[in-house]
Amino acid sequence: MSQNHASPQIPHDGGPGAHAPGGGVSIGSMSGGSIATGSHGRAVSVNTTGGPVPDARHQELLAAVRELLAELPEQGTRQAEDSALHAELTELQDEITSSGRAESGRLTRVLGSVRRWLGSQAAAAGAVASATAVVQGIAQLLG
């Protein structure tokens, strides 16, 4: 059983502008995209850059969530309340970045988590403003 593999002819000297007999391909560097050679060559390239772009209200909420995440204590020093809130905020952030929006059920859960965190001893003074922005952003989306 023989297999016919087409492979580009690469010039032996590798210098720019060098051509192998019968044609050739020389690629110095390539990032993304596609290439095709030959009389029946066909190149197809599908590029994605992420999920849908969130609307303005979801973008504002996403910014507030990221700010609050940055202000929560590091993983090794978190209290249980900090860890629970971090998990909820991370899931909300992931949902907004992947779908461009957040479901009302998740918004309601995160709202409760942020309010519980604000009422606990875990709430750091510097993070209160960020938490308040998250609460306001969720309240706007829930109506």
Give residues with Cβ within 8 angstroms of 121, minimum separation 6.
79, 81
Predicted confidence at residue 133, as pLDDT, reads 93
Q: In the 3-class helix/strand/coil scheme, how is the chain assigned residue by residue?
A: CCCCCCCCCCCCCCCCCCCCCCCCCCCCCCCCCCCCCCCCCCCCCCCCCCCCCCCHHHHHHHHHHHHHHHHCCCHHHCCHHHHHHHHHHHHHHHHHHHHCCCCHHHHHHHHHHHHHHHHCCCCCHHHHHHHHHHHHHHHHHHC
Give the distance, in angstroms, between the CA of residue 29 and the centroid of all CA atoms in the same chain.
26
Global pTM? 0.62
pLDDT tens string, the chain, 143 residues long: the values are: 444 444 455 455 555 555 545 666 667 776 666 777 777 777 666 555 566 888 999 999 999 999 999 988 887 787 888 889 999 999 999 999 999 999 999 999 999 999 998 888 777 777 888 999 999 999 999 98
Exposed/middle/buried for 21, CB within 10 Å: 0-12, 13-18, 19+?
exposed
